[in-house]
Amino acid sequence: MDIETFASPFSHRYGSQAMRAIWSERYKRLLWRRVWVALAEAQCQLGIVSRAQADDLRAHMEEVTAASIARALEVEREIHHDLMAELRVFAEQCPVGGGIIHLGATSMDIEDNADALRLREAMQLICASLTRLIRTLAEKVLQYADLPAMAFTHLQPAEPTTVGYRLAQYLQDLLMDLDEVERVRDDIKGKGFKGAVGTSASYRELAPGDSIERRALAELGLAAFPVTTQTYPRKQDWRVMNALAGIAQSLYKFAFDLRILQSPPIGEWSEPFGARQVGSSAMPFKRNPINAEKINSLARLVAVLPRVAWDNAAHSLLERTLDDSANRRAMLPEAFLAVDEMLAVATRIIRDLRVDEGHIARTMHAYGPFAATERLLMAVTKAGANRQEMHERIRQHALAAWAKLSAGEPNPLIASLCADAEITRYIAPESAHALLSADHYVGDAPQRARDLADAALRRVGSSNV
pLDDT 10s digits, 14-50: 999 999 999 999 999 999 999 999 999 999 999 999 9
At residue 465, the pLDDT reads: 39
Catalytic residues: 154, 280
Q: Is the pLDDT of residue 462 over 80?
A: no
At residue 279, the pLDDT reads: 56
Residues 6+ apart with CB under 8 A from 43: 49, 54, 100, 103, 104, 206, 207, 212
24: how many CB neighbours lie within 10 A of its CB? 14
Q: Is the pLDDT of residue 2 over 80?
A: no
The full set of domains in the chain, from first to last, is 10-105+192-227 (1.10.275.10), 360-440 (1.10.40.30)
Percent of the chain with pLDDT over 70: 96
Q: What is the DSSP string of 142-173?
A: HHTTT-EEEEEETTEEEEEEEHHHHHHHHHHH
Categorize the per-residue pLDDT at 330 as very low, low, confident or very high, splitting at 50, 70 and 90. very high
The Cα–Cα gap between 217 and 45 comes to 13
Across 43-57, 252-266, 337-351, 398-412, least confident range: 398-412
Q: Which residue has the higher pLDDT, 436 or 346?
A: 346
Q: DSSP code of 224?
A: B
The Cα–Cα gap between 125 and 173 comes to 19
355: enclosing H helix or E strand: strand 354-355
Amino acid at 207: A
Residues 6+ apart with CB under 8 A from 80: none
Mean pLDDT of the chain: 93
pLDDT 10s digits, 343-376: 999 999 999 999 999 999 999 988 888 888 988 9
Q: In a 3-state reduction of DSSP, which class is residue 354?
A: strand
At residue 20, the pLDDT reads: 97
pTM of the model: 0.91
Q: What is the mean pLDDT of residues 322-340?
A: 95
Q: What is the mean pLDDT of residues 250-276?
A: 90
42: enclosing H helix or E strand: helix 25-45
The Cα–Cα gap between 124 and 181 comes to 9
Residues 6+ apart with CB under 8 A from 2: none
Q: Is the pLDDT of residue 166 over 90?
A: yes
At residue 273, the pLDDT reads: 73
At residue 276, the pLDDT reads: 60
Q: Are strands 148-153 and 269-270 parallel, antiparallel or unpaired?
A: unpaired
The Cα–Cα gap between 228 and 324 comes to 16
The residue length of the chain stands at: 465
Q: What is the mean pLDDT of residues 390-406?
A: 92
The Cα–Cα gap between 112 and 103 comes to 16
Q: Which residue has the higher pLDDT, 286 or 166?
A: 166
At residue 274, the pLDDT reads: 65
242: how many CB neighbours lie within 10 A of its CB? 15
Categorize the per-residue pLDDT at 415 as very low, low, confident or very high, splitting at 50, 70 and 90. very high
Q: In a 3-state reduction of DSSP, which class is residue 74?
A: helix
Percent of the chain with pLDDT over 90: 84
At residue 348, the pLDDT reads: 96
The Cα–Cα gap between 430 and 420 comes to 12
At residue 463, the pLDDT reads: 60
Q: Are strands 156-162 and 354-355 parallel, antiparallel or unpaired?
A: unpaired
Q: In a 3-state reduction of DSSP, which class is residue 24?
A: coil
